[in-house]
Amino acid sequence: MTYPNPSTENTPANPHDAGPPLWLLAELTYRCPLQCPYCSNPLDFAQTERELTTEEWVSVLRQGRKMGAAQLGFSGGEPLVRQDLPELIAEARNLGYYTNLITSGLGLTETKVDAFAEAGLDHIQVSFQASDPELNNAVAGSRKAFDQKLAMARAVKEAGYPMVLNFVIHRHNIHQMNDIMTLCERLEADYVELATCQYYGWAFENREGLMPSKAQLVQAEHEVNEYRKRLQDSGSAMKLIFVTPDYYEERPKACMNGWGNLFLTVAPDGTALPCHSARLLPIDFPNVRDMELQRIWYDSPGFNHYRGDSWMPEPCRSCDEKEKDFGGCRCQAYLLTGNADNADPVCSKSEYHDRILAARRAADHATAGLTGLVYRNADNSRLFFRS
Amino acid sequence: MHQVPRFRRGFRFQWEPAQESYVLLYPEGMVKLNGSAGAILNEVDGQRSVGDIIASLEQQFPEAGSLGKDVGDFLQDAQHHHWIELS
Ligand code: SF4
Ligand code: SF4
C-alpha cells in the first residue's frame, strides 16, 4: 500500500503537537437487542436518527488509516445490526487495520462467523453478563441471550479466531468471579476482561444499584489473583485482565491516555469524539459529515479543548502529578461536580472527593436487587430526552 | 536452534509508516517494536528455524558480530509473551 504525501497547504494546524489517533472506534449503531443497565451509550441514544451510510463509513476508515490508525474496533450498540458489516470489515482489512468486532453475540450465526473470517476480521470479543443463564438473562433483559452467547463463543473458537470474553462486573455478579473464570477456561478464551462498571451513561444512572462494596472487591481481587497463579502454573495462555473501579482509588486514572491523544471514536451519526462517553460533555464535537478527519483531530476546538494543561484549574494546575493522570476523567468531573474542568473527584486532592466517599459508603449499605435498575431501552431512553 | 518460530494466531506484524516502526498487533492491543525487535520478527515466517534467522541477521548486520545469544533470548521472550510459538 502507498501513502500519498498530504500536500502542505491542506495540512491542518496542530497547536498542541498531537500525535496520530492510533486507535479508531467505529460505533456503527446504537441499536441493540439487549438492555444492559450499565450500557455506555448515551442516555438519549433513541434520539439518534441518521446513521452514517456505508460510503461514509468507508471514507472514515480510509481517512483514519491514512492518519496512522492501526487498531479498529467495530462496536455499538450491536454492530451486527448493520447489514453492511462484512463490507466494512473487508474494506478495513484491506486498508491494513487490525480489525476487532465487539459484540453481544446476539444476531451472530456460524455462517456469519465464517464469512467475517473470509472478509479478514482479526478478532471477536463476545460480552457476557454473568456465568449462569438466570443472572445473565436478567441483566441483559433477554431470555435467550445466554445460550446464544455460549454457542457463538464456541463458533468463534471453532473458526480459529483469537477470542476475548468480556464480563462487566458489578455488585450482582461479582460473587461469581470463580465461576466466570472457569467458564472462560472451558470456552478456551484467549483473553478475559473482567471490567468493573465505569459510571457513565446508563451506569451512572444506576450507580447505587451497581457499585460493589469494598469487601466484595477485595474478595474478587483475591480470587482473580489465585486463579491467575493457577493458570500460570499450568502453562495456560489465557490472560486475565481485571479492571477495578476507580471509585476505590485515591488518584484518578489517566483517562484515555490523555484527551485526544491516541483514541478517536466516531459515533453512529458521525459525531467524532475523544472517547465514547465524551458526548455527555457540554462541548461541541465536530461531525465527519462536515469536516475531514485530519482537521477534526488536529485542529477542531472540540479535540483541542483539553489537550495540554493550560485549561487546568487548581488543584491540578500546580500539582506535580498532572503529567501522570492529566487530571483524570473529564466526564467523571462533569458528572460529579457539574464542571468538566475540575479535577476528577476520585482524586483525594479534589474538594469534591467526599462525593466519591459517599458513593463508597452507599455501596456498603446498598440492598436493592436487579429490579430497581433502569434498563437501557428505547422507552427509557425517551424519558431522558423528553424531560 | 532447529525450532521454527511462527506468530500465534491473531498476532499480526506489520510496518506502520505513521509510527515509523514495526508493530505487533493483537486483540485490542499494539506493541511498537524497537529497531532490533522489528528486525528479528521481520525474519519470522513460519518456515525458517531460529538458526536460519540468526544466520540471516548476521549477514544483514555484519558489524554487529555474533547475534546468536541476543536473538535466541529475544525469541524466548517473545514466546513467553505468547507472541510466537516455537515448534
Ligand atoms: S452494553 Fe448491553 S445494551 Fe449496551 S450496547 Fe452492549 S450489549 Fe447492547
Ligand atoms: S490534583 Fe489533579 S493532577 Fe494532581 S493527582 Fe489529583 S487529579 Fe491528578
Mutate which of A250, A311, A321, A353 for ligand 2 pocket (most atoms within 8 A of beta carbon): A321
Q: Which residues of A touch B16 (CB under 8 A)?
A: 68, 70
Q: Which residues of A touch B29 (CB under 8 A)?
A: 71
pLDDT, residue A4, reads 45
Ligand that lies nearest to the alpha carbon of residue A276, given by its number in the listed order:
1
Q: Find the mean pLDDT for residues B83-87.
A: 92
Instruction: Decide if B30 touches A, using CB distance below 8 A.
Output: yes
Q: A64 CA to chain B: closest CA distance, Å?
A: 11
Instruction: Decide if A160 touches B, using CB distance below 8 A.
Output: yes
* Contact call for residues A56 and A104 (beta carbons, < 8 A): no
pLDDT, residue A387, reads 43
ipTM (interface pTM)? 0.90
Cα dihedral sign for A247, A253, A255, A259?
Answer: positive
pLDDT, residue A336, reads 93
Cα dihedral sign for B50, B51, B57, B60?
Answer: negative
CA of A176 to the centre of ligand 2 (A): 34
Instruction: Decide if B26 touches A, using CB distance below 8 A.
Output: yes
pLDDT, residue A5, reads 46
Nearest chain B residue (CA) to A192: B27
CA of A324 to the centre of ligand 2 (A): 8
**Ligand 1 atom with least separation from CA of A129:** 2
E strands along chain B, which residues? 5-7, 12-16, 21-26, 29-32, 84-86
Q: B24 CA to chain A: closest CA distance, Å?
A: 10
A35 lines ligand 1 (CB under 6 A): yes
CA of A30 to the centre of ligand 1 (A): 9
> Is A125 in Cβ contact with B27 (below 8 Å)?
yes
Q: Which residues of A touch B24 (CB under 8 A)?
A: none
> Is A122 in Cβ contact with B18 (below 8 Å)?
no
Tell how many helices (H) and how many strands (E) occur in chain A.
Answer: 15, 9
> Is B30 in Cβ contact with A237 (below 8 Å)?
no
State the virtual CA torsion across A87, A89, A95, A96 in degrees, nearest 10: -160
Instruction: Decide if A120 touches B, using CB distance below 8 A.
Output: no
| B8: pLDDT strictly greater than 50 | yes
Q: Where would I find the H helices in A163-276?
A: 177-186, 201-205, 207-210, 214-233
A322 lines ligand 2 (CB under 6 A): yes
Phi, psi dihedrals of residue A162, rounded to the nearest 5°: -70, 145
* Contact call for residues A201 and A40 (beta carbons, < 8 A): yes
A200 is written with which cell numbers? 457513565
Q: Is the peptide bond before A77 cis (omega within 30 degrees of 0)?
A: yes
What are the C-alpha distances in Å from A138 to residues A131, A373, B16? 12, 11, 44
Rounded CA separation A222/A114 (Å): 38
pLDDT, residue B11, reads 94
Residue nearest to atom 6 of ligand 2 (CA): A347
pTM of the model: 0.90
E strands along chain A, which residues? 23-27, 71-75, 98-103, 123-128, 163-169, 191-196, 239-243, 263-266, 272-273
Query: Least CB-CB distance to B10: which of A3, A20, A162?
Result: A162
A49 is written with which cell numbers? 436518527
Could you list the pLDDT tens digit for every one of the 387 residues in chain A?
A: 444 444 444 678 888 888 999 999 999 999 887 788 778 887 878 777 789 999 999 999 999 999 999 999 999 889 999 999 999 999 999 999 999 999 988 889 999 999 999 999 999 999 988 888 888 888 888 888 899 999 999 999 999 999 999 998 998 889 999 999 999 999 999 999 999 988 888 888 888 888 899 999 999 999 999 999 999 999 888 999 998 889 999 999 998 888 999 999 999 999 999 998 899 899 999 999 999 999 999 999 999 999 999 999 999 999 999 999 999 999 999 999 999 999 999 999 999 999 999 999 988 887 777 777 777 877 777 776 554
* Contact call for residues A345 and A355 (beta carbons, < 8 A): yes
